[in-house]
Amino acid sequence: METHGFSLRLGSHLNAYLHRMRVQSHRWTAREPDWAIGALAGFGAGGIVMLMELAFAAAIGTDPWRVPRLVAALALGSPVLQVGGYSLEVLVAALAVHYLLGTFFGLVLAALMAPFHLDSSVVMAVVAGAVFGLLLYLFNFYVITSVLPWFAEMRGWVTVLGHVEFGVMAGLIYRMLERRR
């Protein structure tokens, strides 16, 4: 009989602890994402990743305009890959494509985070964002490269980390700024 009383007290304490911690189920519920914040999160995370890419290229002494050319080729076609160096046309196209894709993928992440409550904590937002970034890398560099083969040259750990960084930053920005409904 004494064990039963202990079990009840333990269960009661555990329940109270979980309630205080606001542990939520990560099952789907009809919860509308904060679309504006999702777009902003993707836009901001895209900017952070772009700055990190440029800093990394400068640090290791590679052409900082190679990645922008690869991105600009989505809008301008593969001939822009034949030339190196700075070009205003390439820069504008790369920025437009990069920020549009970042915004779109921020919306996709928001559409996943809200109904599954992946924004319930900072840790959950970071983990969800990291997994999203990794899946985004796999999609971009193993599916999309069948249509845009020039992206295959970017496969590697640096690009994986950049995509994971994008997901983490987008998840964090979304978590911190969203207006809970």
- Residue 43 carries which side chain, given as an amino acid letter? F
Query: Are 39 and 174 contacting, i.e. CB atoms less than 8 angstroms apart?
Result: no
Nearest to 42 by CA among 105, 122, 111: 105
User: For the chain, what are the domain ranges?
Assistant: 2-177
What 8-state DSSP symbol labels residue 82? G
Distance of CA 81 to the CA centre of its chain: 26
In tens, the pLDDT along 109-150 reads 999 999 999 999 999 999 999 999 999 999 999 999 999 998
Residue position matching structure tokens 């971009």: 140
Q: Kindly report the pTM of this predicted structure.
A: 0.81
Residue 24 reports pLDDT greater than 70: no
Residue position matching structure tokens 């959950």: 124
DSSP-based three-state secondary structure for 119: coil
Query: Are 119 and 113 contacting, i.e. CB atoms less than 8 angstroms apart?
Result: yes
Residue 11 reports pLDDT greater than 70: no
